[in-house]
Amino acid sequence: QLDKESIEDFNSRLTRLPFPPSLSPGYKIDDFEIIEEFYASARSQLYKVRDLQSGRIMVMKTPSVNYEQDNHYIDRFIQEEWTGKRIHSPYVVQVLNINREKHFLYYVLEWVEGITLKQWIKENPQPDPTTAINIVEQIAKGLAAFHSNDSTHQDLRPSNIMINSEGKIKIVDFGSVFVAGVAEIFVPIRHEGALGTASYADPLYLQGKNSGSQGDLYSLATIAYEIFTGALPYGDKIENCVSAMDYDRLRYQPASQFNAIIPVWFDRALEKGLKFDLLERYQTIASFVGDLKYPNSDFLRDDPKKEFTKSPQLFWQIMSGFWVLMLLVMVVLFSSS
């Protein structure tokens, strides 16, 4: 099976392939027809393509000619495809095995309908809480697929997560994935800053340290915070942090400041998931998600809302009912104006 092929063998098969030429709509490459380019950066391009053999719509990712002479970049690009083929989960975009000869360096993925979670958050500033926690759970399950393959995503952020009209998510992009045992084969891309985005990536990772699955946990906690509040836990200042001392100056902003209905126990679970110190942070994603769904007794102490939130089911029902009521009020106001 191709997904069982060693990284060394996979690399030796592909490193000699040339970069694809500039691709435009209608261009055909290895029985793929280019429909449109929908993303381009200094590092890569994404195209919507049609497989002429099956008629299936797919995504083709091609390397940037800016790095045609950069062996480290080429190695990393090849590792993306190899990594993606090892991950099998309904919550992670599928890198496809195409049983045909390739004449250029690229790889293809399944086409995912929907929008990015970043856009979804903008369109849903006060989401139904049950919907929001379901999204967090799905992301956690996607991360579990990486971790069970000795991999960490390292660049989890709303723009790297797709969500469809039914609320189903898929984690996309394998560009920053770290695979245990492969680090000595592939040298990380050398450029200013780490591959992740400062607002979501674990500060330890941004300082050049490997925090493993706890790093992905930090990113998940940041996303969960943003879904429920529309804000970021440390504000914009975290983007300018470089040293450990810079991060030590930051203070967690309680989620309840942005969403007053959030109880203390829920806020403290978010805060623990966002600790910079690994010893203070949750050890597993499962324990973090568990404390978001069911009140941790340690967090219920001195919680003025605890009489109303001892039952997590009641809490989610109350929160959901609150937002439904708010929507009804808005409908009435707009209809009467």
pLDDT at 29 over 60: yes
- The reported pLDDT for the residue numbered 194 is 45
pLDDT at 303 over 70: no
Q: What distance in Å separates the CA atoms of residue 84 and residue 171, rounded to the nearest whole number?
A: 11
pLDDT at 329 over 60: no
Which of 87, 89, 83, 80 has its CA nearest to residue 62?
Answer: 80
In which band, very low, low, confident or very high, does the pLDDT at 123 lie, cut at 50, 70 and 90?
A: very high
Record the tokens describing residue 77, joined without a space: 């690009």
- The reported pLDDT for the residue numbered 122 is 97
The mean-pLDDT minimum among 4-8, 10-14, 30-34 falls in: 10-14
* Cβ partners under 8 Å of residue 315, min gap 6: 263, 295, 308, 309
- The reported pLDDT for the residue numbered 11 is 56
Q: Residue 73: beta bridge partners?
A: none
- The reported pLDDT for the residue numbered 62 is 97
End-to-end CA gap in the chain: 64
The residue that leads in pLDDT, 281 or 332, is 281
Q: What distance in Å separates the CA atoms of residue 299 and residue 286, rounded to the nearest whole number?
A: 17
Q: pTM (2 decimals)?
A: 0.84
- The reported pLDDT for the residue numbered 300 is 81
Which amino acid, residue 92? V
Q: What distance in Å separates the CA atoms of residue 220 and residue 146, rounded to the nearest whole number?
A: 14
pLDDT at 242 over 90: no
Domains of the chain, CATH where assigned: 2-110 (3.30.200.20), 115-326 (1.10.510.10)
- The reported pLDDT for the residue numbered 118 is 96
Q: What distance in Å separates the CA atoms of residue 16 and residue 77, rounded to the nearest whole number?
A: 13
The residue that leads in pLDDT, 335 or 42, is 42
Record the tokens describing residue 11, joined without a space: 């690399």
* Cβ partners under 8 Å of residue 80, min gap 6: 61, 107, 174, 175, 177
pLDDT at 46 over 50: yes
- The reported pLDDT for the residue numbered 318 is 58
pLDDT in tens, 127-154: 999 999 999 999 999 999 999 999 999 8
Mean pLDDT computed over 282-296: 96
Mean pLDDT of the chain: 86
Which of 172, 165, 190 has its CA nearest to residue 111?
Answer: 172
In which band, very low, low, confident or very high, does the pLDDT at 114 lie, cut at 50, 70 and 90?
A: very high
DSSP string, 275-302: -SSTTTS-S-HHHHHHHHHS--HHHHTT
C-alpha dist (Å) from residue 308 to 118, 132, 337 = 32, 20, 36
pLDDT in tens, 184-197: 443 443 334 444 47
> Are 184 and 168 contacting, i.e. CB atoms less than 8 angstroms apart?
no
Which segments within the chain are labelled E, that is strand?
28-29, 32-40, 44-51, 57-63, 107-110, 115-116, 151-152, 161-163, 169-171, 178-179
